[in-house]
């Protein structure tokens, strides 16, 4: 007995016992859950398996990036709605970052009124639930727009009405692919020059105006190619036909409401993140940079922002993750996103609860991990090199 007790007092023995105990408990719990689920599913007569995904979906999706009809399969429906989730997250993240940048600037301004304006904006938008804001934009604000026949006309090219926003659609003609390639190549070239110039400056200290040259390359080469190809892109202008707009691309009010709501809400958070990042750079850094005679532009681009970035990236990643996850609220305003399809029509029609929950969780988990991975790579690239 005494032997056993002294054996137990050994740290390694105890830690192994705890850990194997936990593993055993988890395995047992999973087995028990699996067993109860099996009996329950048998009793309810639910078939498990993912075969239902090849069946005809039978419901419409109001915004589809690629061809989709009610006769398409569930797989197609999932792909279409997943792309809708990605699209709204991407555009909202981009706009929110831009907005957040301006909010941060205004909160750091030396104009008291502008500073207060930024404060009020941030406090207002981040303290009101996102769902309430989405409701406001969708059910109250966008409903103030005029009906289709009295659309607000923007330069005869874009039309804003209660059923959405109709904008000109680009039409690619022969030779457009050459221009697209020119854009890609010019970006690669500009990036190469930037790398070369940076390396050279590190080696020899000789500066090179890589930003201006790069900007020139990115603008001039595609423009020249487009000119040679006789501008192969034309715009299809929407026109009001008998009952509806013909041509152009329509942005639906659901999409617009999601975009406005997500942008304004996340912009407030991102503004606060950027502000905190810039303020956290020690003021000696700014003073030192000023005293060696850098211009204000250089102080920001070479000294402040690179250091602030390291503090901005982790919370910004979190904010992007939150934004992407919160697009699942789209179901509330009827925007056809991934969660809308899974929790709505698909689960009502098939009753395959287990499979649908698995698809939902792993779909979103996949996106989250993807964003986290990208930001981790970026974070690694901008880290403080330790020796």
Partner 1 sequence: MEPALKPFIEPQPPPLQSSGLIGWLRANFFSSWFNTFVTLALLWVIYQVGGFAINWGIINANWVGDSAKSCPNIDGACWAFVTERWRLFVYGLYPQELYWRVNVFYLLGALTIIAFIFSFGPATRKLRLTMFIGFPIAAYIFLVGGVFGLEHITPESFGGLLLTLVIATVGIFGSIPLGLILALGRTSDLKVISKVCTYFIEFWRGVPHIAVIVMFVALLPIFIPDGNKIDIVVRAFIAFAAFNSAYMAEVFRGGLQSIPSGQFEASKAIGLSYWKMMGYIILPQAIRNSVPALVNTCISIFKETTIVLLIGFSDFLGIIQLSLEDPKWLGPPHIFSSAYVFAALIYFTFTYGMSKYSLRLENRSNVAQ
Interaction of residue 263 with partner 1, rule CB under 8 A: no
Show the site string, 271-310: x = touches partner 1 by CB under 8 A, - = not: ----------------------------------------
Q: Which is nearer to partner 1, 36 or 382 (CB)?
A: 36
186's CB contacts (< 8 A; 6+ apart) are 217, 218, 220, 221, 222
Q: Which is nearer to partner 1, 368 or 379 (CB)?
A: 368
Applying CB under 8 A, which of residues 3, 5, 49, 111 lies at the interface with partner 1? 111
Applying CB under 8 A, which of residues 228, 279, 353, 374 lies at the interface with partner 1? 353
Interaction of residue 5 with partner 1, rule CB under 8 A: no
Q: Considering only the stretches 40-48, 90-98, 192-200, 247-255, report the one whose residues sit in contact with partner 1 under the rule CB under 8 A.
A: 40-48
Q: What is the 3-state secondary structure (H, E, C) of 9-68?
A: CCHHHHHHHHHHHHHHHHHHHHHHHHHHHHHHHHHHCCCCCCHHHHCECCCCCCCCCCCC
Interaction of residue 135 with partner 1, rule CB under 8 A: yes
Applying CB under 8 A, which of residues 27, 37, 172, 373 lies at the interface with partner 1? 37
Angle, CA of 241, 242 and 244, to the nearest 5°: 60
Interaction of residue 325 with partner 1, rule CB under 8 A: yes
Q: Which is nearer to partner 1, 37 or 220 (CB)?
A: 37
CB of 119 to partner 1, least distance (A): 12
- How many beta carbons lie within 10 A of that of residue 35, not counting itself? 10
Interaction of residue 360 with partner 1, rule CB under 8 A: yes
User: How many amino acids of this chain bind partner 1 (CB under 8 A)?
Assistant: 56
Interaction of residue 28 with partner 1, rule CB under 8 A: no
Q: What is the DSSP letter of 140?
A: I
Applying CB under 8 A, which of residues 13, 27, 28, 33 lies at the interface with partner 1? 33
Distance from C-alpha of 1 to C-alpha of 285, rounded to nearest angstrom = 66
- How many beta carbons lie within 10 A of that of residue 7, not counting itself? 10
Helix (H, G, I), strand (E, B) or coil at 344: helix
Query: First and final CA of the chain: distance in angstroms?
Result: 53
What size, in residues, is the chain? 387
Q: Considering only the stretches 126-134, 240-248, 249-257, 294-302, report the one whose residues sit in contact with partner 1 under the rule CB under 8 A.
A: 126-134
CB of 152 to partner 1, least distance (A): 16
Interaction of residue 41 with partner 1, rule CB under 8 A: yes
Show the site string, 57-96: x = touches partner 1 by CB under 8 A, - = not: ----------------------------------------
Q: Which is nearer to partner 1, 165 or 340 (CB)?
A: 340
Interaction of residue 320 with partner 1, rule CB under 8 A: no
Structure-token match 């600037």, residue found: 105
Distance from C-alpha of 82 to C-alpha of 327, rounded to nearest angstrom = 11
Q: Considering only the stretches 16-24, 49-57, 64-72, 207-215, report the one whose residues sit in contact with partner 1 under the rule CB under 8 A.
A: 16-24
Tokens of 163: 């059923």
Angle, CA of 367, 369 and 370, to the nearest 5°: 60
Structure-token match 């697209």, residue found: 180
Interaction of residue 144 with partner 1, rule CB under 8 A: yes
Q: Which is nearer to partner 1, 123 or 173 (CB)?
A: 123
H helix runs in the chain, sequence order: 2-8, 11-44, 74-107, 112-126, 130-135, 176-204, 210-228, 253-279, 283-291, 296-298, 305-326, 338-341, 347-350, 353-381
CB 165 within 8 A of CB 152: no
Q: Which is nearer to partner 1, 51 or 123 (CB)?
A: 123
In the complex, the residues that contact partner 1 under the rule CB under 8 A are: 15, 18-20, 22-23, 26, 33, 36-37, 39-41, 43, 109-114, 117, 123-124, 127-132, 135-136, 139-141, 143-144, 321, 325-329, 331-332, 339, 343, 347, 353-354, 357, 360-361, 364-365, 368-369
């Amino acid at each position: 007995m005494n032997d056993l007790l002294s054996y137990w007092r050994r740290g390694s023995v105890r830690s192994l016992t705890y850990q194997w105990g936990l593993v055993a408990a988890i395995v047992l719990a999973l087995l028990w859950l699996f067993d109860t689920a099996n009996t329950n599913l048998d009793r309810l007569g639910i078939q498990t398996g993912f075969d239902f995904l090849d069946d005809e979906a039978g419901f419409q999706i109001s915004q589809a990036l690629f061809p989709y009809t009610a006769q398409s399969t569930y797989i197609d429906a999932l792909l279409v709605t997943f792309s809708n989730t990605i699209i709204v997250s991407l555009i909202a993240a981009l706009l929110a970052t831009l907005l957040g940048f301006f909010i941060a600037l205004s909160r750091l301004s030396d104009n008291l009124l502008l500073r207060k304006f930024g404060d009020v904006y941030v406090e207002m938008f981040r303290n009101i639930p996102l769902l309430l804001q989405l409701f406001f934009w969708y059910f109250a604000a966008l409903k103030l727009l005029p009906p289709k026949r009295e659309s607000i006309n923007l330069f005869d090219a874009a039309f804003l009405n209660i059923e959405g926003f109709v904008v000109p659609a680009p039409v690619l003609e022969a030779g457009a692919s050459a221009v697209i390639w020119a854009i890609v190549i010019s970006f690669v070239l500009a990036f190469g020059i930037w790398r070369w110039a940076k390396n050279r400056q590190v080696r020899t200290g000789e500066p090179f105006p890589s930003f201006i040259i790069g900007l020139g390359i990115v603008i001039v080469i595609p423009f020249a190619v487009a000119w040679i190809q006789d501008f192969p892109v034309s715009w299809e202008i929407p026109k009001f036909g008998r009952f509806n707009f013909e041509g152009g691309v329509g942005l639906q009010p659901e999409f617009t409401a999601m975009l406005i709501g997500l942008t304004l809400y996340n912009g407030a958070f991102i503004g606060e993140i950027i502000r905190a990042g810039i303020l956290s750079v020690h003021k000696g850094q700014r003073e030192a940079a000023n005293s060696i005679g850098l211009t204000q532009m250089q102080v920001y681009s070479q000294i402040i922002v690179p250091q602030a970035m390291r503090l901005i990236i982790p919370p910004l990643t979190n904010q992007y993750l939150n934004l992407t996850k919160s697009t699942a609220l789209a179901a509330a305003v009827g925007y056809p996103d991934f969660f809308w399809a899974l929790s709505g029509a698909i689960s009502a029609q098939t009753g395959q609860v287990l499979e649908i929950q698995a698809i939902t969780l792993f779909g979103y988990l996949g996106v989250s991990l993807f964003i986290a991975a990208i930001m981790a790579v970026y974070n690694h690239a901008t880290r403080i090199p330790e020796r």
